[in-house]
Structure 1
Amino acid sequence: MTTAFPALGTTAEVLVTDPRRLSAAVDLLSVELAAIDLACSRFRADSEISRLHETAGRQVRVGALLAEALGAALRAARLTDGLVDPTVGAAVRALGYDRDFALITGGVVSVKQCSNPVSHPRPAPAEPIPAPGWHRVLFDPAQRLVVLPRGVHLDLGATAKALAADRAARRIHASLGCGVLVNLGGDLRSAGPEPAGGWQIALGDDHAEAVVRPDTTVALHHDGALASSGTTRRRWRHGGRTVHHIVDPRTGDAAEPRWRTVTVAAKSTVDANTASTAAIVLGEDAPAWLEARRLPARLVGVGGDVVTTPGWPRERKAA
């Protein structure tokens, strides 16, 4: 049994092996998503990460969830040598991604206030802003103490949603006992017993349409994780050109388009999404980088060519 609903600017979906547990699973997932949004959303003035930006330059003790999310983001930066860097906040804003993606349309930002839509023209395009570097963030995970330097802006988008998938799947299985699959806009995590043959995952450039028009299907097994990053869905016009949401921290600009979609299997959704994001940034060097780290992956080029790395599961082609 499955149900889906909008969350975190994407679609949240939960599947369970016991239909009687579906409603409770949805409730548990909703609680996790609300918590991660309140802790990590850069689009909410009342989020904890927004308050952290307001106290830049001072030592602050953060809540347990933001500490976990920040730890995951800094670990991702360390493991990728900065290819995935949480200090790209200023860079993504300079590219025009300055509020929830659902509000970005056609070069203007549309905000619905009550029943009256209001459009705010974008400011003049800014030059790309390279990331200051994750190493500048001082973080003591044991004490949950953070010093965010002035002028450094965080964006945990590459890891926070994946962390929510990991946390939610574990929590739902622990609470309800049934098998569960959580899908947050292409970030997937399973926990507990699986259906016969595993969870069947449809892959495509657009996760929302992949179920009805999949490019291929793979099986995800017990406590497995899968994440896809791509450049075809979250795109917009800015400064007379089309840009996307995956930023190369080294340049502050949208990553060069070698791959339109990269899907990676790993032990956690955070690790899978870290690797798939890094692969988009790496471009041509991505397959060798993934293979060296023994990460099974499927890369689809902008021209439609498909490259897989060792260990990628057997695919079932779409009819």
Structure 2
Amino acid sequence: MTATAEPIASTRFRALGTTAELMVTDPDRLLAATDLLRAELRAVDETCSRFRDDSEIAALHRRAGSPVRVSPLLAEALQVALRAACATDGLVDPTVGQAVCDVGYDRDFAAIARDLAAPVRPAGEAPGWWRITADWPRREVVVPHGVRLDLGATAKAWAADRASVLVARRLGCGVLIGLGGDIAVAGPAPARGWQVAVGDDHAAVDPRRDPVIALASGGLATSSTVCRTWRRAGRTVHHIVDPRTGDMPGSCWRTVTVAAGTCADANAASTAAVVLGDQAPAWLAERRLPARLVALDGHVVRVAGWPDPDEEASA
């Protein structure tokens, strides 16, 4: 990401297994904003991480089959995940947890062995998001036996949405929060909008090389099949699983970037697009979601009003 020429302050740090980036329009608010963001991300990790035995979602798994009263934070995270599943007709499904583990993503990404000898044995079709039942007013959730949740397709984006709104309301300034490829903005934007460079890897984007767009509200999310990868028995695998098969989706796009009203909606759509493959442009266009899709050979497809190259460069 890149900042505008206005007096914007920024910082970055590690959180949720990725890089958290924070920008504010008032440099005097940066320290307070950083404290708010760190506390929010710590709470999300303690609630939603599938890599921590002491997380709330791990406790939910241990009580599978029984109604469990969950915290307001976990209730919100689960509702966001289930809404994404419904909106994508199950292309993004939080019940893929076992499938994601079976392809080797069973611990924090930094700890994954990059070349595993054991072959991938797809778990098959995900149990299905509709099997999660809940009494939301009572915040009671039932996860069936044999179902393992993975909120990876929505939790970081939702956390960016939550934290950006929190910081903007508490401190009264414009804010941009990026978590990996998930970006949310809130409060008054800079005069020319937040200038965001888009590329395969959020940590290596370069505005001198990669397209730059202006983001004034809502969220932006990029899903990539070329960054978080590792090897299993000579096969390259990545973190996006097709819930219909429990395996990697067919190769088509290296990167999909989507803009939407929230970062959570953008991320659900970008993930669904990777799963859909060559059907993704039509699916995104039907939903009027501006998107930039980069094929494995580098060919770029823009849909639903995504800026053309000249407009990107001048944003």
Which TM class, normalised by the smaller chain length? over 0.9
What amino acid maps onto 1:284 in structure 2?
D
Q: Counterpart in 2 of 1:74?
A: 82
- Post-superposition Cα deviations, 1:262-315, rounded to whole Å, max 9, x if no partner, equal 011100000000000000000000000001111111101111011111222454
What amino acid maps onto 2:94 in structure 1?
P
TM-score (structure 1 length as normaliser): 0.92
Q: Percent identity?
A: 61
Matched position secondary structure for 2:80: helix
Change (3 A) 1:185 1:213: farther
TM-score (structure 2 length as normaliser): 0.93
- The CA deviation at 1:102 is 0.6
Matched position secondary structure for 2:44: helix
Matched position secondary structure for 1:142: helix
Q: Is 1:217 aligned with 2:212?
A: yes
Q: Counterpart in 1 of 2:232?
A: 238
RMSD: 1.4
What amino acid maps onto 2:102 in structure 1?
A
Matched position secondary structure for 2:273: helix
Instruction: State the distance in 1 between where 2:273 and 2:40 align.
Output: 28
Q: Counterpart in 1 of 2:291?
A: 297
Instruction: State the distance in 2 between where 1:54 and 1:209 align.
Output: 39
Instruction: State the distance in 2 between where 1:85 and 1:203 align.
Output: 26
Instruction: State the distance in 2 between where 1:228 and 1:141 align.
Output: 30
Q: Counterpart in 2 of 1:157?
A: 152
Q: Counterpart in 2 of 1:114?
A: none
Matched position secondary structure for 1:254: coil
Q: Counterpart in 1 of 2:66?
A: 58
**Structure showing the higher strand proportion among its residues:** 1
Q: Counterpart in 2 of 1:49?
A: 57
- The CA deviation at 1:211 is 3.5
Q: Is 1:181 aligned with 2:176?
A: yes
Q: Is 1:170 aligned with 2:165?
A: yes
Instruction: State the distance in 2 between where 1:295 and 1:212 align.
Output: 23
Instruction: State the distance in 1 between where 2:122 and 2:290 align.
Output: 36
Q: Is 1:316 aligned with 2:274?
A: no
- Unaligned segments of structure 2, at least 5 residues: 1-8
- Post-superposition Cα deviations, 1:182-229, rounded to whole Å, max 9, x if no partner, equal 0111111111111121000001101101046642100001x3211110
Q: Counterpart in 2 of 1:113?
A: none
What amino acid maps onto 2:121 in structure 1?
A
Instruction: State the distance in 1 between where 2:122 and 2:91 align.
Output: 20
Paired residue for 1:137, among 93, 109, 132? 132
Instruction: State the distance in 1 between where 2:166 and 2:230 align.
Output: 35
Q: Is 1:28 aligned with 2:36?
A: yes
Change (3 A) 1:220 1:62: same
Of residues 306-315 and 72-81 in structure 1, the stretch that sits farther from structure 2 once superposed is 306-315
Which consecutive segments of 4 or more residues in structure 1 shift more than 6 A?
none
Instruction: State the distance in 1 between where 2:292 and 2:141 align.
Output: 37
TM alignment of 1:239-254, pairs within 5 A: 239-254=233-248
Q: Counterpart in 2 of 1:39?
A: 47
- The CA deviation at 1:140 is 2.0
Change (3 A) 1:17 1:142: same
Instruction: State the distance in 2 between where 1:12 and 1:176 align.
Output: 19
Paired residue for 1:146, among 141, 145, 153? 141
- Unaligned segments of structure 1, at least 5 residues: 109-121
Instruction: State the distance in 2 between where 1:281 and 1:131 align.
Output: 14
Instruction: State the distance in 2 between where 1:309 and 1:140 align.
Output: 39
